[in-house]
Amino acid sequence: MSTAVAQKKGFGAFIWDYLTTVDHKKIAHLYLVAGGLFFLVGGLEALMIRIQLIKPDNDFVSAGFYNELLTMHGTTMIFLAAMPLIFAILNAVVPLQIGARDVAFPFLNSLGFWLFLFGGLILNCGWFLGGAPDAGWTAYAPLSAVSPGHGVDFYVLGLQISGAGTLIGGINFLVTIINMRAPGMTYMRMPLFTWTALVTSTLILFAFPALTVGLFLLMFDRLFGAGFFNASMGGNSVIWEHLFWIFGHPEVYILILPAFGVFSDVLSTFSKKRLFGYTAMVFATTLIGFLGFMVWAHHMFATGLGPAANSIFAIATMAIAVPTGIKIFNWLFTLWGGTITINSAMLWALGFIPSFTIGGTTGVMLAAAAADYQYHDTYFVVAHFHYVIVGGVVFGLFAAMHYWWPKMFGKILNETLGQITFWTFFAGFHLTFFIQHFLGLMGMPRRYWTFLPGQHLDTGNLVSSIGAFFMAFGAIVFVINVIYTSVKAPKVSGDPWDGRTLEWSIPSPPPHYNFKQTPLVRGLDPLWIEKMEGRKGITPAEPLDDIHMPNPSILPFIMSLGLFIAGFGFIYQVDNLSYLWLVILGMGITLGCMLTRSVKDDLGHHIHKEDLEEEGAEQ
């Protein structure tokens, strides 16, 4: 059942293997491929936006199509690219870092992926079925409630389904990290990436339900004639803003915290030093997660909540700068006194520090409510959140991919191509977004399809558009790198970076069962401790014995397919009630699968001790 065996089978068997897999490492591959493809789609949308804005009065795309582009760019990048890519890294790394053989709920892990994928497909079906969502990724009511056509319906149903997948994924990692740590791995010995995964999962658990509720209200408004956001029926449009941002602000931290974790691990490994101020870093992480729920209304300073509310949320927002600052300084002092190796993974981490510092400082500027009346909904905000999301999350994902690629696939990504990607993307990123701070203050609101000549906005937009092409070039080189590496690069050992944490103590890519014997953890950076004491690997915590593993299942795929079908039924029953049959069919499939899962005993299988001994005695 190991990956090597699976690859020798035919193509059909290979596909079937991935459709049914509950192995966290293969689910990581699925997330990586799907998230990567959606990232390219979102990038293409971004390029079209920048081409449209390359000069004033441009008509490269129509106003209506531009609105679809900007909506789908935001929605795709957040929900269909950043989230799944984060989940790819979480899946690939967290169980290995805590010394577990899989996640707590392998079946749910698979279900979470397929729900995300089918939700993402529904969202993008709008392009081919009469128009994509066009009310902005924030989908403010009443515009989203009254937007004609089915565009926003695809947004509502697509996000509802993929959101359920994310919620399931979050709960799964929460339980995994709490329950499945190897003996000796106390909370304060967990690698920082695992810590951020734990906090992020907690945030998902509390933040996503707010989005679920908001989407249900919007769904009822659009599809069943309710009036939650319709003022003339006694509804209130501000409720959507609150619900969306009670989810939306923690979402930013859901994305950025794992990136922080990546940088902590990468900076520590490549400066050959223990993470400086580990305890402070852990507390800063949890504090950011906690405060992340207290600041949502800073997205609503212009909503008219009044000076008292605005001031409270302004100060709460500024407070987040303190733990974030603690992190920046601890990273710098992790490097201080170290012996720094600079390679692609490290370049992304080093590029992150100044970029994210700019994003963080403009964040504090935005927190000043009265000044935000000027920044709000302008290109200043666009610049700010791209500095945070690209300069933080995307840089983090690139760092993570370069760092853990050998662990996931047994090969190191090509260094030259990696550096070309970094330098073009990094330069393009600053070229694109730095100038947008000024564009915003010079009077360019965001989500503008076009701008007039003679407003001194031409040069800034041109520079910004040129930068976007550099970023696109960098991203394409990365894709080439992935292909080149998988074809040409040689296999590497299990520990190519002289790593510090448990995942580097096992072969690359890891066997199906990860750890032949559960490791015994004796401190922070367990592998480093063993190496410093002259041992080759980790001391096992148990004798070699049979390993119990979960069985693969096609049910998660079919279950998600059922919801996919039902989603179309919900959308089109507005036009013709006979589409309700699709709802019944789809829900029937899903509920049928749930019933099957409940009544059928699936006890998993065992990998026998004798087979393990045959596979090699070292470890």
Nearer of residues 9 and 456 to other proteins, judged by Cβ: 456
Nearer of residues 40 and 463 to other proteins, judged by Cβ: 463
461 is an interface residue for other proteins by CB under 8 A: no
How far is the C-alpha of 432 from the C-alpha of 570, rounded, in Å? 40
Least distance in angstroms from the C-beta of 284 to other proteins: 9
Buried b (16+ CB within 10 A) or exposed e, 401-432: bbbbbbbbbbbbbbeebbebbbebbbebbbbb
Give the residue from 298, 293, 327 showing the smallest Cα distance to 315.
298
Name residues contacting other proteins, limited to 271-300 (CB under 8 A): 271-274, 276-280
Nearer of residues 374 and 596 to other proteins, judged by Cβ: 374
Peptide bond into 142 cis (omega under 30): yes
Structure tokens at 28: 């990581």
Give the residue from 346, 349, 374, 347 showing the smallest Cα distance to 362.
374
Least distance in angstroms from the C-beta of 94 to other proteins: 24
Name residues contacting other proteins, limited to 30-69 (CB under 8 A): 62-64, 67
Binding residue (CB under 8 A) for other proteins from 5, 13, 15, 315: 315
Give the residue from 179, 184, 199 showing the smallest Cα distance to 291.
199
Helix 192-223, helix 151-179: angle, nearest 10: 150
Least distance in angstroms from the C-beta of 193 to other proteins: 18
Q: Which stretch binds other proteins (CB under 8 A): 6-14, 230-238, 290-298, 568-576?
A: 230-238
How far is the C-alpha of 83 from the C-alpha of 501, rounded, in Å? 24
Binding residue (CB under 8 A) for other proteins from 216, 293, 333, 469: 333
Binding residue (CB under 8 A) for other proteins from 10, 454, 534, 543: 454
Residue 523 sits at the vertex; the CA angle it makes with 521 and 526, to the nearest 5 degrees, is 60
Helix, strand or coil, per DSSP, at residue 242: helix
587 is an interface residue for other proteins by CB under 8 A: no
Name residues contacting other proteins, limited to 111-140 (CB under 8 A): 135-136, 138, 140
371 is an interface residue for other proteins by CB under 8 A: yes
302 is an interface residue for other proteins by CB under 8 A: yes
User: Phi, psi (5° rounding) for residue 605?
Assistant: -135, 170
Binding residue (CB under 8 A) for other proteins from 10, 12, 304, 490: 304
579 is an interface residue for other proteins by CB under 8 A: no
Least distance in angstroms from the C-beta of 2 to other proteins: 35
Helix, strand or coil, per DSSP, at residue 110: helix
224 is an interface residue for other proteins by CB under 8 A: no
How far is the C-alpha of 573 from the C-alpha of 587, rounded, in Å? 14
Nearer of residues 46 and 167 to other proteins, judged by Cβ: 46
Nearer of residues 132 and 583 to other proteins, judged by Cβ: 132
How far is the C-alpha of 523 from the C-alpha of 528, rounded, in Å? 9
Least distance in angstroms from the C-beta of 525 to other proteins: 8
Site string for other proteins, 469-488 (x = CB under 8 A): --------------------
Site string for other proteins, 235-274 (x = CB under 8 A): xxxx--------------------------------xxxx
Query: Under a CB-based contact definition with an 8 Å cutoff, are residues 121 and 564 in contact?
Result: yes
Burial of 601 (C-beta count, 10 Å sphere; 0-12/13-18/19+): exposed
Least distance in angstroms from the C-beta of 323 to other proteins: 9
How far is the C-alpha of 504 from the C-alpha of 498, rounded, in Å? 8
Residue type, 247: F
Helix, strand or coil, per DSSP, at residue 77: helix
How far is the C-alpha of 207 from the C-alpha of 242, rounded, in Å? 12
Binding residue (CB under 8 A) for other proteins from 58, 357, 517, 619: 357
DSSP code of residue 429: H
Nearer of residues 174 and 291 to other proteins, judged by Cβ: 291
Name residues contacting other proteins, limited to 142-171 (CB under 8 A): 142-143, 146-147
Name residues contacting other proteins, limited to 540-559 (CB under 8 A): none
340 is an interface residue for other proteins by CB under 8 A: yes
Nearer of residues 225 and 307 to other proteins, judged by Cβ: 307
306 is an interface residue for other proteins by CB under 8 A: yes
Structure tokens at 162: 């993929």
Least distance in angstroms from the C-beta of 524 to other proteins: 9
522 is an interface residue for other proteins by CB under 8 A: no
Least distance in angstroms from the C-beta of 389 to other proteins: 19
Helix, strand or coil, per DSSP, at residue 509: coil
Name residues contacting other proteins, limited to 424-453 (CB under 8 A): 427, 430-431, 434-435, 438, 441-443, 445-452
Give the residue from 409, 429, 399 showing the smallest Cα distance to 7.
409
Give the residue from 201, 203, 112, 126 showing the smallest Cα distance to 157.
126
410 is an interface residue for other proteins by CB under 8 A: no
Nearer of residues 13 and 342 to other proteins, judged by Cβ: 342
Binding residue (CB under 8 A) for other proteins from 330, 436, 514, 590: 330
Least distance in angstroms from the C-beta of 307 to other proteins: 4
Beta strands in 46-177 (DSSP E): none
User: How many residues make up the chain in this entry?
Assistant: 619
Binding residue (CB under 8 A) for other proteins from 365, 520, 541, 544: 365
Binding residue (CB under 8 A) for other proteins from 221, 251, 372, 495: 372
User: Could you tell me which residues come within 8 angstroms of residue 238 by beta carbon, excluding any fewer than 6 positions away?
Assistant: 303
Q: How many CB atoms lie within 10 A of CB 617?
A: 9
Q: Which stretch binds other proteins (CB under 8 A): 12-20, 141-149, 186-194, 197-205?
A: 141-149
318 is an interface residue for other proteins by CB under 8 A: yes
Structure tokens at 391: 């300069």
How far is the C-alpha of 460 from the C-alpha of 19, rounded, in Å? 47
Nearer of residues 209 and 445 to other proteins, judged by Cβ: 445
Report how many residues bind other proteins under the rule CB under 8 A. Answer: 102
